[in-house]
Amino acid sequence: MRMLSLDLIIGFLSIGGMIASIVLAATKHQGVSNKDQHGLNWWSTATWFLVLLKWTWQNSFFARYYSKKLQKSIVHPEDEDDPSTWKF
């Protein structure tokens, strides 16, 4: 549960960072063309905040999903969803 709350905090901080980066890019009239993307650009920073959000929440989802599967397989090892009986 601690890891999930940490992932949620990082996710919401990245949403705030992405919104702040978009606002800064718009107020500084930065363009999104290929030529305008060279050098320091807040649009690129907003994109990286979006990537951070995706990776953080995706990893949180998969870690929680598979930890539940693992816990279930330890308690009820005869289940067909038991990861230890999966054939690859």
* Among the listed residues 64, 66, 59, 60, the one whose alpha carbon sits nearest the alpha carbon of residue 86: 66
Per-residue pLDDT at 74: 63
Provide the whole-model pTM.
Answer: 0.66
Q: According to the model, what pLDDT value does residue 13 have?
A: 94
Helix, strand, coil share of the chain (percent; to 5): 70, 0, 30
Note down pLDDT in tens along the chain; length 88 residues: 566 778 888 999 999 999 999 999 999 888 877 777 777 889 999 999 999 999 988 888 887 777 777 766 666 556 566 666 666 6
Domain ranges for the chain, please list them.
2-85
